[in-house]
Amino acid sequence: MKIDLENLTIRKAHEHLLKGDFSAVELSEVYLKNIEAHNKNINAYLEVFDDVATQAKETQKIIENKKGTILTGIPIAVKDNILIQRKRASSASKILEGYTATYDATVIKKLKSAGAVFLGRTNMDEFAMGGSTENSAFGPTKNPHDVSRVPGGSSGGSAAALAMDGALAALGSDTGGSIRQPAAFCGLVGLKPTYGAVSRYGLMAMASSLDQIGPFGKTVEDAEILFNAIKGHDPMDSTSVPDEIAKRNNEVSIKMTIGVPKDILDSPGIDALVLKNFNEEIAKLKGKGYSIKEISLPHAHFALSVYYIIMPAEASTNLARFDGVRYGLSKKGGTPFDDYAKTRGEGFGREVRRRILLGTYVLSSGYYDAYYNKAWSLRNLIGKDFEHAFNEVDIIATPTTPTPAFKIGEKNNDPLAMYLADVFTVPANLIGIPALSIPSGTVDRDGKKLPLGLQLMAPHFREDILFSVGKSIF
């Protein structure tokens, strides 16, 4: 049978594989042909693995022996900062060009056990620092809906791979919106799980108190299937939460109430059509029987400022390990200090250097208390605001992004404008709650239909509520 990639979902593919309508090998071949046809223009993949056919043959045997899972034989794309043993992983940086992973990330182990087929590693903003995938050392990724525009970032390669039908699902990482923003820009579903719900072991750390691995899918169910496969406690990750705690949270009943935070929606810079689209989505939810309640998050307008203090501070600390001594790029100078300076100066891109400098500054003597400690105090206040809100509502809804996808190069000389694109997404990372972006229609720009996203946020470990509400409207 002809494989209809545009309308294929994980469940549909699984059913076809079980029936024998096509094999795992045939499915992977179709995706490889599509990648060959489109990737030169889109630059979603940095590398397509040379063992895809071998992987697919092995999973086909499992399917024929009726021992597979719903993910057996399903072709998946993986962000370049998630380790796959014996595969290269560069985090889209010259400083790690040629580095080969020596072990599997926990999420990769889980997906291997489930029988997934890994197609390749996808492009990203270098070390996940950016919101457009323009900061990659290996060139920008383009949005399949309009190649003159960005796909979002930092997981833009994973989103573009899925949007161009170059994978059936994908993994990304989300530190301040890096799954949800590309999902919105590319017309996909993207989930940032609860902090601690998915192991970070084998993820190259950017900001350790914010990072989470999560799924991209074409549908809410696809994202749910992938999330269920990768979630769970991992003793290799000290921030991983025991399963019994996560389960305890899921026993709380819900009231079918959606909260709308007017204090965030009144932020400057929100596109009028994005706001109109959001109000239409809220009306849809009301039509589905949900109660809509206006809520207040009095400290939420500080979230972006707090994020851009804490994130660079943690990033500057985490990236200190890339010194040219143990692995990756190594440049020689006259002294050991010169070696470090030359290696890091040539190996790191402009945005990474900028954030290292910012982070080092806010952690320096005399500024630590003035910036970093105050940011943490505000982070706690923002968390309390959300905690109070979730006593009244089950879900908090916002647009995912303040604008549709912007032009490539449009914000390159204005870092603050780029950072403002995270205004709706960073609160979920700061307080560790799960957040889901689902497609919410399109707007017309320059003769192209550009996707928009609706963001739903829930209390800790209540991804189940997000999936339930998401399925009801998409």
* CATH for 84: 3.90.1300.10
> Cα dihedral angle (48, 53, 58, 64), rounded to 10 degrees?
120
Q: How far, in Å, CA of 223 to CA of 395, rounded?
A: 18
Q: How many residues does the structure list for the chain? A: 474
Structure token digits, residue 280: 């239409």
Would the pLDDT of 251 be above 80? no
377 is catalytic: no
Q: How far, in Å, CA of 294 to CA of 257, rounded?
A: 10
> Cα dihedral angle (48, 54, 58, 60), rounded to 10 degrees?
80
Arithmetic mean of pLDDT, 302-317: 96
Q: Is 261 helix (H, G, I), strand (E, B) or coil?
A: strand
Q: Is 464 helix (H, G, I), strand (E, B) or coil?
A: helix
Q: How far, in Å, CA of 384 to CA of 440, rounded?
A: 29
The active-site residue out of 90, 91, 154, 173 is 154
Q: What pLDDT shows up at residue 230? A: 98
Q: What pLDDT shows up at residue 328? A: 83
Q: Please list the helix, strand and coil fractions of the chain in percent, rounded to the nearest 5, in that order.
A: 45, 15, 40
Burial (0-12, 13-18, 19+ Cβ within 10 Å), 365: exposed
The active-site residue out of 23, 28, 79, 155 is 79
Q: Closest Cα to residue 416, out of 319, 345, 348, 351?
A: 351
The active-site residue out of 23, 93, 178, 440 is 178
208 is catalytic: no
Give me the chain's average pLDDT, please. 95
154 is catalytic: yes
Which tops the pLDDT comparison, 371 or 245? 371
> How many of the other CB atoms lie within 10 Å of CB of 447?
6
Contact of 166 with 382, CB cutoff 8 Å:
no
Number of domains within the chain: 1
Would the pLDDT of 253 be above 70? no
Q: For residue range 105-144, list pLDDT tens digits in order.
A: 999 999 999 999 999 999 999 999 999 999 999 999 999 9
Lowest mean per-residue pLDDT among 38-52, 198-212, 361-375: 361-375
Arithmetic mean of pLDDT, 290-311: 96
Structural domain of residue 299, as residue ranges?
Answer: 1-474
Q: How far, in Å, CA of 178 to CA of 131, rounded?
A: 7
